[in-house]
Amino acid sequence: MDQVRKTVSFILDGKTITVDFEKERLSPTITVLNYLRSLPNHKGVKEGCAEGDCGACTVVLAEPDHSGKMIYRAVNSCLVFLPMIDGKQLITIENLAWKEKGEVKLHPVQQAMVDLNGSQCGFCTPGIVMSIFALQKSHVSPTREIAEDALTGNLCRCTGYQPILDAAIQATNGQPDHFSENENAIQKELKNLNDDQNDVVINVNGQTYIQPKSLKSALKFLTEHADATVINGSTDVALKQTKKFELIAKVIDLSAVSELKFFNEENNQVEMGAGLPLESVKTKLNGEFPAFCEMLKVFASKQIRELATLGGNIGTASPIGDTLPLLIAYDANLKILSQSGERSIRIEDFIKGYRQTDLQTGELIYSVTIPKRQNVRFYKVSKRKDLDISTVSAGFRLKLNNGSVEDICLAYGGMAAMPKRAKQTEAFLLGKEWKEENIVEAMKILKEEFQPLSDARSGAEFRKLAAKNLLLKFYEETTHEFSPAR
């Protein structure tokens, strides 16, 4: 039998902590937030919403990348199960200040918040400071847009955001800190921890938590435990526990499978590993796919994008998942692996119904391939711009030939039980001239093509109106591109 271990180890307060869940009778799905709150000296992290919305529980995870450079990621600790931080450094608000000759020295980020009056009641402040700290470790003199993006996942009812943004920009001036001085020692210890590549298998209190360390192990466990809940980021599944108080009996956590975190670019396409966090996707695309980058700008918050993975978002098959209509418009292809081999399937064929996919027992999503050089747009209608779920979303693709529609895809989210193409509307437009009169007629067909639900987010009539108006917006944006130069 292959060797497994029942413990996870990570660095906290500059020391290696090893947690034996079975010995301590600790739930393997305890969140990092609740674990920290159980410790005597880590009450700075707060629970505001328990669903990744407010940012009060933000902590920073640090680990070396492939080049050996330390990467610091702000994440919502309410969404992270404790085993997920195996082999990483966990940094909390308590770790930022330090003592020098008996005197407490505030970290530059903390000092900037004090100097610029970025804090009032203090409840949200630790999470805000940790988000700025991650920004400070990643950027020197960031633009206001970058600073705003870093703070999108932090809500504050007291101060207004201007002094917080001012503090973020002032603190990120490249000034070294005690983390910089200790990085070599931390990297060495993290390497020692990650040299142990035995799979983690924890059985306690009626729960089984499995964390394979390789693709081979992942496929084996998926075959052996067909009843397990598979996570690769947990930003969706964690809510079953934190908000619905469900016991997740068996988990297979793919977050430690490095073979799923790749990005390959070729002349005609890109292939992205299913385990690549969405923030990494955003960085690596680097403007190559404008519609994809625009979608990721309004996908949740940076804290969530640092955890949520491309494969995870696809695998949930949510009718309002932001990536799905866009990937359908891109005509993306999935590579599916199992112990018996691999297969490919278009993402449009992969989604079968409400949170239902074509994934079979023992299979996992290995990668997503997107062809280049397509005219694709993404649109999202929501109650607020940032950190919100779509009311209606859309991914559109268009190809014209001498002014007539040669190819078109109108994929919508929020209009049916699953992301769905408006095929009647597409059929009407195909072969017709791309002009306003035809778009107006197509909008009439589109309005009747879907029968969306009314819910707390929106009424059915609004969704229909939004869907057809997005088509008009698409026409207005694209008609200028194809018009002859004047």
In this model, does residue 159 exceed pLDDT 90? no
CATH number, domain of 188, equals 3.10.20.30
Crossing angle for the helix pair 162-171 and 125-138, nearest 10 degrees? 40
> For 51-78, what is each residue's pLDDT tens digit?
999 999 999 999 999 888 999 999 999 9
Nearest Cα to 109, choosing from 89, 88, 123, 95?
95
Tell me, what's the pLDDT at 173? 82
Task: State residue 224's pLDDT score.
Answer: 97
Residues 334 and 216: beta-carbon distance below 8 Å: no
So what's the pLDDT on residue 484? 46
Q: Are residues 281 and 152 in the same domain?
A: no
Phi-psi region of 286 (alpha: psi -120 to 50; beta: other; left: phi over 0): left
Q: State mean pLDDT over 217-246.
A: 96
The whole-number average pLDDT for the span 283-287 is 88
Whether residue 102 is contained in a domain is answered as no
Per-residue confidence band for 210, with pLDDT thresholds at 50, 70 and 90 = very high
User: Are 133 and 74 within one domain?
Assistant: no
* Closest C-alpha to 448, from 473, 427, 422, 411: 422
Q: How many helices (H) and strands (E) does the chain have?
A: 18, 23
Residues 470, 471, 473, 474, CA torsion sign: positive
Asked if residue 221 and residue 142 are part of one domain, the reply reads: no
Question: What is the per-residue pLDDT for 2?
Answer: 66
The CA distance from 429 to 116, in Å, is 56
pLDDT of 483 higher than 60:
no
Confidence tier at 485 by pLDDT (50, 70, 90): very low
Q: Of 155, 176, 197, which marks where a domain is finished?
A: 176
Considering 176, 196, 228, which residue would you say is the last residue of a domain?
A: 176
The pLDDT of residue 482: 56
Residue 28's domain spans which residues? 4-95+180-253
Average pLDDT of span 10-22: 97
> How many domains are contained in the chain?
3
Q: Is the predicted pLDDT of residue 432 greater than 90, yes or no?
A: yes
CATH number of the structural domain spanning residue 118: 1.10.150.120
Q: What is the dihedral of CA 264, 66, 45, 7, to 10 degrees?
A: 110
Burial tier of 68 (Cβ tally within 10 Å: 0-12, 13-18, 19+): exposed
CB burial of residue 153 (10 Å; 0-12, 13-18, 19+) = buried
pTM of the model: 0.94
pLDDT of residue 101: 87
DSSP state of 37: H
